Amino acid sequence: MATETSAGAPPFVSHRGRGTALIVAASFCFGSSGVLGKPAMLAGLSPEQVAAVRIGLSALVLLTGVLLFRPGLLRVRKGEWPLLLGFGLLGVAGVQLCYFISASRLPVGIAILLEFTSPVLIALWVRFGRRTKLPGLMWCGIVLAMLGLAMVAQVWAGLRLDALGLLAGLGAAVCSAAYFLLGERGVATRDPIGMVTWGMLIGAVAVCAVAPPWTLPSGVLSAPAEFGRWQPPVWALLVAVALVSTVLAYLIGILALRHLPAAVASVLGLLEPLVATGAAWLLIGEALTWPQLVGAAVLLGGALIVQLNSPGKQQLGEPLPPAPLSRS
C-alpha cells in the first residue's frame, strides 16, 4: 500500500511481511528488559536506580539524535504540556519503576504478565470512562484474563506472590494503560518520535529525582553480574537495557507501525511476555510452575480476545498514523 509523501519524494509503500518482522524484533527487544535488569538488581542496585539509568541513558540518546537530525520535533505548544507530563510521569517513569520493583520481588515472567493486564484496564476505562458499550466477547476476554491472573498468583494457596511485588505489577499495568491512552491521544497531533523523546526526558527527571545518578555505587557498577553462563559487569547490562530494550525497541516499534495496523501490531506484541518468560528461564534460571504456565496462557488468551474485539479498532490494511508500542 502506497501513501502520500512530501513533494518530490517517492511514495511510501507499506509491506506486511516487513512490518511483522519489525514488530517481532521489537517484542524481543522489549522482552529483554527484565532479564537484563534483574541481574543488576541482584548485584546490589535498587529497582529505582536501574530504572533511572535505563530512562536517563535512553533520554540522552534520543535527545541527541533528535537535536542532530530533527530538532523541530521538540517544539511544544502550550496546551500540550499536561498530556506530555502525564505521558512522561505515568507512561514512562511509572511503568519502568513499577515493573522493575515487581521484577525484583517476583519472577520476571510473572512481573510482565501482571503488566499485560493493561488491555483489560483499557477496556474497562472505555466502558465506564467513555461510556462505550463493549462487545460480549470482550467481557469473556476480561473474565479469562482475570482467571488467568488468579492462576498465576496462585490465590488458592493464600496468594503465594510477594504482596508488594504483586501491587507493583498491577501498578505497572495501570501506568501501561495510561501510556496507551495518552499515547493514542498524543500521536494524533504530534510526531511519535518527538513525543517519545519528551516522555523519556520528563520520565528521566522524575526517576532521577527518586534515585539521583550520584547515588549509584561505583563498586556495584563495575562488579560482575550473574547472567547465565556469563558474568558481565553490571554497567554493561545497564547500557544494554537502555540501548536494546528501550531506544532500539521504541524505534523498531515505531517503524513497524508504518507497515502494520495498530490492531495487528498489538496482537503480535503479545510475544513480549513469552520472550521475557523464556529468556528468564534460559538465562537466570526462573521457571514458572505448571499451574502458572496454564494461567499465563489463559491470561494472554483473554488479553488477545480483548484486543481483537476492542471497539473502533482499525480494519486490516487501513493506513494508520504511527502510535506508541511498549510498556516495560
Answer whether residue 155 shows pLDDT above 70. no
Average pLDDT over residues 86-115: 92
Answer whether residue 7 shows pLDDT above 70. no
252-261 in b/e burial notation, b at 16+ Cβ within 10 A?
A: bbbbbbbbbb
Answer whether residue 2 shows pLDDT above 90. no
Q: What pLDDT shows up at residue 6?
A: 44
Average pLDDT over residues 126-137: 82
Answer whether residue 239 shows pLDDT above 70. yes
Question: How many Cα atoms within 13 Å fall on the side-chain side of residue 270?
Answer: 21
Mean pLDDT of the chain: 83
Average pLDDT over residues 95-113: 91
Q: What pLDDT shows up at residue 96?
A: 92
Answer whether residue 324 shows pLDDT above 50. no
User: Mind listing the pLDDT tens digit for each residue in 40-57?
Assistant: 999 999 999 999 999 999
Q: What pLDDT shows up at residue 134?
A: 78
Range picked from 108-112, 147-151, 210-214 for highest mean pLDDT:
210-214
Task: Write the secondary structure of the chain as one string of H (helix), E (strand) and C (coil).
Answer: CEECCCCCCCCEECCHHHHHHHHHHHHHHHHCHHHHHHHHHHCCCCHHHHHHHHHHHHHHHHHHHHHHHCHHHHCCCHHHHHHHHHHHHHHHHHHHHHHHHHHHHCCHHHHHHHHCCHHHHHHHHHHHHCCCCCCHHHHHHHHHHHHHHHHHHCHHHCCCCCHHHHHHHHHHHHHHHHHHHHHHHHCCCCCHHHHHHHHHHHHHHHHHHHCCHHHCCHHHHCCECCECCECCEHHHHHHHHHHHHHHHHHHHHHHHCCCCCHHHHHHHCCHHHHHHHHHHHHHHCCCCCHHHHHHHHHHHHHHHHHHHCCCCCCCCCCCCCCCCCCCC
pTM over 0.85: no
Average pLDDT over residues 284-295: 85
What is the pLDDT confidence band of residue 99, given thresholds at 50, 70 and 90? Answer: very high
Q: What pLDDT shows up at residue 171?
A: 96
